[in-house]
Structure 1
Amino acid sequence: MNWINNVVRPRIRSFLKPKDTGSENLWVKDPESGEMVFYRDLEANMWVVPNSGYHMKIKASDRLATFLDEGQYQTVALPTVTTDPLKFRDSKRYTDRLKEQRIKTGTDDSVTVATGELFGHPVTVGVQDFDFMGGSLGMAAGSAIVTGLETAVAKKTPFILFVASGGARMQEGILSLMQLPRTTVGVLHLREAGLPFIVVLTNPTTGGVTASYAMLGDIHIAEPGALIGFAGQRVIEQTIREKLPKGFQRSEYLYEHGMVDMVVHRHNLRTTIGSIVGILTKAPAREELSSSAPSRLATPILSTASDDMSGLPEAAHAE
């Protein structure tokens, strides 16, 4: 045992580490404008910067609480998978990284699955959390997606998936890549059951995820300004030896070129998806679509939606 490296240095780092003053005292910097926003104001506005409309990352628990009726939902038990199948180690062991991420996020892996109601419609919802190792797709995340799809089939509900990922998890190698066909088969089973699959693409959605379930939805919705693509812009430019257009791989650009069906502000996702679910399931809502999101949330500041939503009820249109 190296006493200096394993005992002395960690102790010194713990002394030098700044103390947590509590989230209520924090100010968050807007990546787009540089504006400093009070943490509680940002949280109350569903993690959308009030002035610029920039959509920041949001925790899975916050996403579910603000999306489903009365913030009520039941998490779905997910299967246990082998923790470190390849015994991977780089600067630190993979098992140690997982422990750190679980403590940091309070979740077992990057995907949370829950059931609840959306304007009275029973739904199954999956949320991919970018805070957990960049939302990377590994065996646990793949199994969670498949479980969510199977749960939707068993309960005969639509499956709504909020995607945020940097791609496949390198620490699991080929086993991570095998989640692409696994989740694709799960989507096929949902489709065979005649149930809707709605994908919400958030910032960022990249890598192998866009080569599988993220682009297999019946309807694709993107949040404003979200980065969506397979390879990075620099890699593409070096490959084709051309300069890519401004806004390339952003949700608005993808909408203009037919890659997504609509771009919807986070404040309007609840009513928009509620309308879509009602149409696709041919079931009347048991709650008025005009009812607002939780009252603590601010009024939408920026709204962008597809111009091709004439077939949806008026409430589905972004303001």
Structure 2
Amino acid sequence: MSLRDRDLRELKAKNRRYKVSVGNGIYVEVYPNGGKYLLWKYHFPSGRKGQQRWYQIGPYGNSDGQWTIKNAQEEKDRLDVLRKEGIDPRLNKLSLKVKRKSQLICSNNSINPVKNLANIKEKIIAELIEFRDISNDLGNQVVEKDLCYIILGHEIDQKTFELSTSGKNRCKVLAQQIKSSLTKKYCVFFMGLGRLQGKCKLSISECMFKYFSDNYFIPEQYVLEKRSLDTVGDAVFSYELLNFIGFTKHVCVVTSDWHLKRSKVIFKKIFDSRFKLSFCATSELDDMAEMDKIKINNNEEKSIKLFRKQFKNYNPKQLCASKFLKINHLLYNKN
């Protein structure tokens, strides 16, 4: 028997998340925090030999950014056309918008694979224009990973274009974490478009990646994110990117020890209970003078207070994170 919107509103949260069939391949997943997400269960490739897969349509509700049963059914019908044409809907739905031209640093494992591997040592191999798609191969490879590292970007010297000490230390910690991890099935998100960087044409994520690959190794799988302008954006855009791809496993955030408290407050507010969230940090505070520690701590506490004020009324059931960010955050509502 098919469920109606009234039936979905009456579903109660339990200690663990659970799924209920709405009908015609559509399911609602209810989370312990009361959130409800509409899913589509399908097989790909189509036919008896296809693998069962789940496509997350979006949060259930009537507000902007949410989906009613009727809307979900229409979206399912649209996606089913792609499925029958041999396109996996789950891996064909994300496009990343980039606001400016920048040099793209990548390898044969990157978002845009290198066509001529003979030039791989040059690292900077292409001009990235304002729009690009994540390929089916990338989405599939990320989904199959057990662990996603999210390394938060930091400042770039406007004269030398070098990473800050904190940025370099974060890369060092990331390399150590990957090498010591029990799983080799991982991916890395290098975060950040950054703010004005003088004449530097590279985003923070590209600079972080370049330093990491030059000094350590090229990760098995990685994404260079280019929309975020700060830590709040790092959390929002990485969260939405993982949701789009369909990854809901272990996420480890890499940051500095002086920035750890703020990172935890922000990421725990944005990421929901589907993700296993952990953090690893540098050891920069040990080498800081006491006055510098006090100054940084005061700045961090002010930023935490501002974030809590900005996101006090944030409710993912009512409005998706990126839309809320653009309305309530000064760095983003100017664009």
TM range (shorter): under 0.3
- Normalising by structure 1, what TM-score? 0.27
Higher strand share: 2
- Normalising by structure 2, what TM-score? 0.26
